[in-house]
A and B are shown apart, each in its own frame.
Chain A
Amino acid sequence: MSKLVISTIGPASSVQDGGRHGAQRYGLTPSGAMDRLALAAANSLVGSPVLAAAIEIGPFGAAFTAREGAVRVALAGAPRNADISGRAVTSDTSVTLADGETLTLGFARGGSFSYLAIEGGIAGEPMFGSLAVNARAGLGSPYSRTLQAGDELQTAAASGATEHRIDLPPLSDGLIRVMMGPQDDEFGDAKELFLDSEWKISATSDRMGYRLEGPEIKHLHGHNIVTDGTVNGSIQVPGNGQPIVLMADRGTTGGYPKIATVVTADLGRFAQIPAGRGFHFKAVGMTEAQAEARKFWEMLRTLPDRVRAIENFDLNIEALQDANVAGAAVSAVDAGTWQVPSSADAQAHD
């Protein structure tokens, strides 16, 4: 066994996975990763199941040190500077920390959450099938709270596998799609205002809910409805007219009218919007939302197919492009013209 020691870490960082399901009827919220696609990308790089537990790292910096052996990790999600003893590490790649080496991460740039997956997973005791931290309910393992400096995560010793990268499909940087309802009939013209306005995420947001800053969304009949169930992405409007988007640690039920719901396919992208950056919503219908949800889950399921071994010639392509010296006989961007593809490495994660 090796372990990964948390040397430094900011708030809002915790072990998260696909979440715990089945006990919402008792008030237990699923929790789980805020950006499931980024979690899945990190896990795919180290050969773990896509929704296995990894470290969700909030907007601040962090440092992790391998102890009692080497540890192989992969970083995905919000871009940030990363290095091992001054050697730069790129996002969406795996990297092996030798015993005693430290991976240092800077602040998130243009996002909120990054995921550090560990080869061999994180040792812990699942509760309702999940290691995900839900600090309010005292759930999560190996720590039932956010991570702190000095915490240690037990893991497998690094396999010595070659390092890999994952080529993620480009994310739309555009509108956040919502389906109206289930209580959009509690709002009149405010529905248009909601869809037409620019919104910003308040700095007081957390894993339970993102508070939105923008125009006041007025109710037709007051803000108290009878409590009913919530989902990830429910947009409820309390008495002050400032919407709150319910996120992974949401209450399972709530008593404010819900004007709309963020679609599954855009929830992770929404979770990554940094506080203070403007964005717009766009209403879509059920058919489009469900088609996009199916595409999302299919993409998540097949992320491991996008993992490739990092080979030296990849670096050569960049070098050639940078130097602008690609010759006529060899295409720098088409490896097939100068390199016999190796299938062995590409299958390392099959």
Chain B
Amino acid sequence: MAATLSPPRLLPSGDSAITVEFSRNIDDVANQRVLALDRTLARETIAGVTEAVPTYRSLLVHYDPVQIDFDTLGEKLLILTQLPAPPAATTRRWRIPVVYGGEHGIDLEDVAKALNTTPDDIVARHVAGNYRVAMIGFTPGWSYLSGLPDSLRMPRRPNPRLLTPAGTISIGGVQAGVQCLAAPSGWHLLGRTAVKTYQLHRDPIFLLEPGDAVTFTAVDAKTFAEQDRAAERGEIVAELIPT
């Protein structure tokens, strides 16, 4: 299999980071290669590498140019891409409760109209999806998921909202998201979850890891309110499903 894969592009992101780019698109195979290199890099530590940020299609490797230069690090990273990656540390599957529509998901009706169907059908499609955390980024705990059903694909909003609520569950293009903090967003808001993917005084602080599997389940507003209070107390409201 490896023989058919082209080597990644090494793009300088300034003088202290390298983007190791496996694809220019959202691509599951590329994301698997990103996460594999991330795991290999965690095992084969390279002096001077300070941290790595996996995304859909690339691994951003931050480094200290006092300790290692671009060419040396680039060569080492290319060698690492040839090594067999350690298996994923987790094969966890999370079930995340979502209250859909109404004040909690203000775009549900519009999404249904745009896709010529009913809000209930949109919810059914969303909970039927099998998702995987492709990356976490932008703001703490914002988890970008791959695996959105084709029948839910639609362009992002032309005008991004300056603020969307904590716990927003949204879709945009081919992507699905679990958002933790209130943040600007150009995606369509389907609902909210009480699950906090980032909570400072909880162990673990960050709930999801890149590579984790995710499904959604619909709950009513009353359940959401109860779960929200439990989550405030530090409970992990998401369910771990045995695999």
Contact = CB atoms under 8 A, between A and B. Distances in A.
A225 B54 CA distance: 16
Contacts of A87: none
A47 interface: no
Q: How extensive is the interface on chain A, given as a class?
A: 35 or more
B91 to A, nearest CB: 18
Interface string B1-33: 000000000011111110101011110000000
A95 B159 CA distance: 51
Interface in A105-144: 127, 136-139
A138 B17 CA distance: 27
Contacts of A231: 13-14, 16-17, 60, 62
Contacts of A228: 19, 21, 55-58, 60
B66 interface: yes
Contacts of A252: 53, 137-138
B177 to A, nearest CB: 11
Interface string B196-215: 00101000011000100000
A140 B57 CA distance: 32
Contacts of B142: 27
Given A26-B206, A179-B15, A181-B13, A229 B55 contact: yes
Interface in B22-68: 23-26, 38, 50-60, 62, 64-66
Nearest to A183: B11
Interface stretch (A78-86, A255-263, A310-318, A332-340): A255-263
Contacts, number: 143
A264 B16 contact: yes
Nearest to B71: A286
Contact of B181 (A24, A136, A225, A262): A136
A262 B54 contact: no
B111 interface: no
Contact of B15 (A138, A139, A183, A290): A290
Nearest to A180: B12
14 contacts: A23-B51, A23-B206, A24-B53, A25-B136, A25-B210, A26-B140, A26-B205, A136-B139, A227-B55, A228-B19, A229-B60, A230-B60, A231-B13, A261-B13
Interface of A: 21-28, 127, 136-139, 179, 181-183, 224-231, 233-234, 251-254, 258, 261-264, 286, 289-290, 292-294, 297-298
Q: Ordered nearest first, which 6 A-B pairs have the shortest CB separation?
A: A229-B60, A253-B137, A261-B14, A182-B11, A289-B15, A251-B138
Interface of B: 11-17, 19, 21, 23-26, 38, 50-60, 62, 64-66, 69-70, 135-142, 144, 156, 173, 181, 183, 198, 200, 205-206, 210
